[in-house]
């Protein structure tokens, strides 16, 4: 019963894991004032801010993409033939 339950809940677990990554990033930025202070300081003193933001965006998309691909692989690996889609 448990393996079937894990297989059925895999899409929801994938969505929750991606949402967890997103909200953890947001909560970390809000909860740590030193990080916000340092980013404002770097923003005002450095001229390469757009490059830093692009690197941050690429890293963020890569992390979410890796998690998504891993969960899709796991879902396909645990699929029961003839059950569901």
Predicted local distance difference test score (pLDDT) of residue 12? 86
Q: Summarize pLDDT for 17-67 with one digit per residue, the tens.
A: 888 887 777 666 665 565 566 667 777 776 777 777 777 778 778 888 888
**pTM given for the model:** 0.54
Answer with the residue of higher pLDDT: 60 or 68: 68
For residues 50, 52, 56, 61, the Cα torsion angle rounded to the nearest 10 degrees is: 50
Ranges of each domain in the chain:
2-77
Let me know if 21 is exposed, middle or buried by CB neighbors in 10 A (0-12, 13-18, 19+): middle
- Is the pLDDT confidence value at 81 over 70? yes
Answer with the residue of higher pLDDT: 10 or 32: 10
């Amino acid at each position: 019963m448990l393996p079937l339950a894990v297989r059925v809940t895999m899409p929801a677990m994938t969505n929750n894991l991606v949402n967890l990554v997103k909200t953890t990033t947001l909560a970390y930025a809000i909860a740590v004032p030193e990080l916000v202070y340092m980013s404002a300081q770097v923003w005002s003193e450095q001229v390469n801010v757009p490059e830093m933001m692009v690197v941050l965006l690429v890293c963020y998309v890569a992390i979410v993409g890796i998690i998504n691909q891993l969960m899709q692989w796991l879902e396909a690996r645990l699929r029961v033939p003839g059950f569901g889609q």
